[in-house]
């Protein structure tokens, strides 16, 4: 039986911290599906198509990993993928309460699906998509925080926004 897991998230945009989790999950499961939530409550900077395309580019050398978008409940998407595990990363105790609540709720919604947590590498413990966007917005160096396609996409996006505001 193929052991398949889904890593759901906003990925707005994907960071080196996410990629580390994806690589480690790919070592533990036969297949990992990265699920990009379309209608995130967080009003994303990148459209779901942009987020999916960036992830596909960044993960193109990982044959057991694929990228798809989804809407609605994560557990429904996990079931559609015929997977039995949800992957999530845990950076610090501050993540724990929200992640625990979500994992418990997902178990109530479908007790056949388990959440598997990977503890973020110490070198990425401070990293989040929000903090990367904040640094990029103000022209800071993000080359160590995200892969090159994400860096390029962020620089272009904030240029577009700045140009739009001038017109
Ligand atoms: O990257 P994020 O924003 O921390 O990911 C959060 C995500 C997408 C995993 C979570 O918001 C989610 O699963 N949303 C879909 C709706 C859902 O299933 N919520 C959890 C049960 S209420």
- Domains identified in the chain and CATH numbers: 4-125 (3.40.50.620)
Q: Whose CA is nearest to atom 5 of ligand 1?
A: 9
Q: Whose CA is nearest to atom 3 of ligand 1?
A: 10
Given a cut of 70, the residues of the chain with pLDDT beneath it are: 40, 167
pLDDT at 49: 97
Q: Where are the alpha helices (DSSP H) in the chain?
A: 16-28, 48-58, 74-80, 93-109, 129-137, 148-166
* Residues identified as active-site: 18, 42, 91, 129
Q: How far is the CA of 46 from the centre of ligand 1 (A)?
A: 17
142 CB under 6 A from ligand 1? no
17 CB under 6 A from ligand 1? no
105 CB under 6 A from ligand 1? yes
Instruction: Give pLDDT tens digits for 106-142.
Output: 999 999 999 999 999 999 999 999 999 999 999 999 9
With beta carbons less than 8 A apart as the criterion, state whether 23 and 59 touch.
no
pLDDT at 110: 98
């Amino acid at each position: 039986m193929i052991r398949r897991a889904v890593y759901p998230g906003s990925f707005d945009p994907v960071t080196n911290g996410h990629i580390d989790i994806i690589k480690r999950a790919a070592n533990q499961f036969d297949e990992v599906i990265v699920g990009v939530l379309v209608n995130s409550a967080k009003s994303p900077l990148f459209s779901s198509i942009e987020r999916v395309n960036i992830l596909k580019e960044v993960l193109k050398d990982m044959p057991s990993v694929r990228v798809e978008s989804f809407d609605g409940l994560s557990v429904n998407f996990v079931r559609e993928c015929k997977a039995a595990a949800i992957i999530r990363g845990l950076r610090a105790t501050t993540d724990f309460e929200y992640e625990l609540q979500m994992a418990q709720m997902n178990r109530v919604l479908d007790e056949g699906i388990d959440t598997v947590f990977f503890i973020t590498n110490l070198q990425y413990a401070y990293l989040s998509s929000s903090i990367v966007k904040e640094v990029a917005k103000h022209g800071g160096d993000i080359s160590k925080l995200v892969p090159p396609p994400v860096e390029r996409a962020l620089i272009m996006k904030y240029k577009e926004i700045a140009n739009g505001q001038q017109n």
